[in-house]
Amino acid sequence: MKPPILLTCRIPSASLARLDEACEVERLEGPVPPAVLADRVRGKHALICVLTDEIGRAVIDAGAGLRIVANIAVGYNNIDVAHARARGIVVTNTPDVLTEATAEFTWGLILAAARRIAEGERLLRRGAWKGWALDFLLGMELRGKQLGVVGMGRIGRAVAAKAPAFDMRVVFAEQGGDAAPSIEQASRLSLDELLVSSDVVTLHVPLTQATRHLIDRRALARMKRTAVLVNTSRGPVVDEDALVWALGERLIAGAALDVYEREPEIHPGLLEFEHVVLAPHIASATRETRTAMAGLAVENVLRVLDGQAPLTPVV
């Protein structure tokens, strides 16, 4: 008899076919409320979920037969990992396969904010462009500027590695014991020193109690008035009320966000500013990457159900 599993999202057909061949798959399409998850996970041996699924104690306890929770994401703040471990349940994520896609997208946001690309496109679309002018939509040139990377994990290092292409110097602040980067001439600073001196501040930390609202009023007030803040990590790393305040007071030059505190809700204050670039949480959204993420989650499930060790356990 095939082991029963629960899948909370659509995945590419090749990965789904692998699951169907080996397992009895019940499919849901999110967002799935915790009460529904708790009901449908009963009797299942595996749960494949995404970052919008809240896998708390109630869901874990309801899944008495669960052997693995496979999260299709790098972050796993949506899962009570400690409780899952206490119940003998393996938790996995999907690191590495989305590193380059997210790093590429981060640079897209940096360029869009520094050179006011999104602002210019919106102006064109509403028919407000009056023609070329010497002082029109002046942005910030990246050459010779300082990139401050907060969090030197896989993605932070990949972002930093691309900085020489723009002739930017790199500094970084470690958060949570990150490994030192193998980037030539990258200097380690305290977070405060990084904020004070950087022209672009880009966030690449996991969401933990220590990083929630890491960027608050005090942090924003420390930044250069010409600086740009970029966030492709997790929304609650930035205090959005504080960010709206800082933007309104012109304490920073702009921001570019792919993640938000209360997704899919967007802070209404952010929508008021032309010098803010807003993306709908798509940093890893390439066909290649999302296919690889789903494939890795499926591989982890099949290995655990077959009595083998998963490829990417959360440690």
Q: Of 83, 188, 212, 281, which is the active-site residue?
A: 281
- Which residue among 234, 240, 290, 299 is the active-site one? 234
Contact 77, 206 (CB under 8 A): yes
Q: Residue 116 catalytic?
A: no
List residues bridging with 27 in a β-sheet. 7
CA atoms within 13 A on the CB side of 168: 25
* Interior/surface letters 143-174, b for 16+ CB within 10 angstroms, e for the rest: eebbbbbbbbbbbbbbbbbbbeebebbbbbbb
**Any catalytic annotation for residue 240?**
no
CA distances from 111 to 24, 27, 114, 147, 151 (A): 46, 39, 5, 12, 20
Cα distances (angstroms) measured from residue 237 to each of 75, 230, 232: 13, 11, 10
Nearest 5°: phi and psi at 202?
A: -120, 135
Asked about 262 being catalytic, the answer comes back as: no
Out of 213, 263, 275, 303, the active site residue is 263
Tell me the Ramachandran region of residue 16: left when phi exceeds 0, alpha when psi lies from -120 to 50, beta otherwise. alpha
Active site residues: 234, 263, 281
